[in-house]
Structure 1
Amino acid sequence: MSTTSWNEDWYERLIIEHLTEKLGCEHLYGPDVHRTDDSYRDVFLPDVLSMALHRINPSLPKVAIDEAVRKIQDIEVSSLEQRNETFNDYLQSGVEVRFFDGEEERDDIVRLLDFDNPENNDLLLLRRPR
């Protein structure tokens, strides 16, 4: 391979191929994905995130999942370092939530990843328009 064929487009296609074929990621084109606005700043896709958290945490009620989604979205207001640290902790340990279950206030953990059943996780690769 010559150095002239090494460019951003080639590299992007190589990474997409690896992530989809080797790791099982689903490849989506950014403009085709529902977002809350047209700025492409939705890091956490609103429809996908809630559905995935319900699937990974089937014993938790909708109010607990909604609380976790709010906490995940709220990390956007801090510095980049704080966001990265917080989200890394969420990935490893889950999101602590407090919710009313109809009878009493409860504390629980909403897991973002299913380590026991990895097939429950959504692996999405989104490509934004150029």
Structure 2
Amino acid sequence: MLGFHAYYGPDLAVGMLAAERKDPSFRDVVLGERLRRALERLNSDLPPEAVADAARKMLWVESTSLVERNRAFHPMLVDGVTVEYRRPDGSIAGAQARVIDFDEPENNDWMAVNQFTVVEGQHERRPDIVIFVNGLPLAVIEPAAAIGQNLGTKTHIEELPSSAGGPGSSFVVETRKGSH
């Protein structure tokens, strides 16, 4: 059985007792420490440097467009992150570091966060509920009661975290051209 942990978004802010966010301006969308702990737990057979490499690759997707970032991010999420590391004998080994345990979902860290603030440029968004799996924001939920206000679907889509990148662009990992 999946066990969601429920949190109130402001409680995760820098300086709070349950702080999980590192950026006081709310530009961070990935809960980095949760991601790192999940990668360590799901890939206990990999050396620490390989796990650190997987975390870095998840957090810094190379691309300039939202579509390209999603195309790069999705295979890592589903198939794992390709990493290389040096064995004790000096040879180089390769592996796929799992990001999510699809076979045994209860091995993942599930969070439901109410009122998770995201700031991108001059835009601040606060979805009702953001679902995190292993520190990654994978779903946004706006309960049906809010939709019942006759605002229409288009209005609700426009309220999702967005900026010049379009709806949902706030919920992407950082990009650095040429970074590894």
TM-score, normalised relative to structure 1 = 0.72
- Check if 1:105 corresponds to 2:87: no
Change (3 A) 1:47 1:81: same
Aligned to 1:125: 112
Is the partner of 2:61 in helix, strand or coil? helix
Change (3 A) 1:72 1:78: farther
Matches of residues 39-118 of structure 1 in structure 2 within 5 Å? Answer: 39-75=25-61, 78-102=64-88, 103-118=90-105
- CA shift, 1:42, in A, is 2.1
Aligned residues: 109
Is the partner of 1:96 in helix, strand or coil? strand
- The CA distance in 2 between the partners of 1:24 and 1:70, in whole Å, is 27
Would you tell me which structure has more strand in proportion to its own residues? 2
- Does the aligned pair in 2 maintain the 1:67–1:99 contact within 8 Å? no
**Corresponding residue to 2:11 among 26, 32, 38:** 32
**Identity of matched residues, %:** 40
Aligned to 1:9: none
Stretches of structure 1 lacking an aligned partner (at least 5 in a row): 1-21
Stretches of 4+ aligned residues off by more than 3 angstroms: none
AA aligned opposite 2:111? L
Change (3 A) 1:101 1:43: farther
- CA shift, 1:63, in A, is 0.7
AA aligned opposite 1:115? F
AA aligned opposite 2:106? E
- The CA distance in 1 between the partners of 2:64 and 2:93, in whole Å, is 27
Which structure is richer in relative contact order (CA contacts within 8 A, separation 6 or more)?
A: 1
Deviations 1:40-87 (A, max 9, x none): 222221110010111111211111110011111111753111121122
Stretches of structure 2 lacking an aligned partner (at least 5 in a row): 13-19, 118-125, 127-180
- The CA distance in 2 between the partners of 1:83 and 1:35, in whole Å, is 22
TM-score, normalised relative to structure 2 = 0.54
Change (3 A) 1:38 1:77: farther
AA aligned opposite 2:47? P
Change (3 A) 1:118 1:107: same
- Does the aligned pair in 1 maintain the 2:47–2:85 contact within 8 Å? no
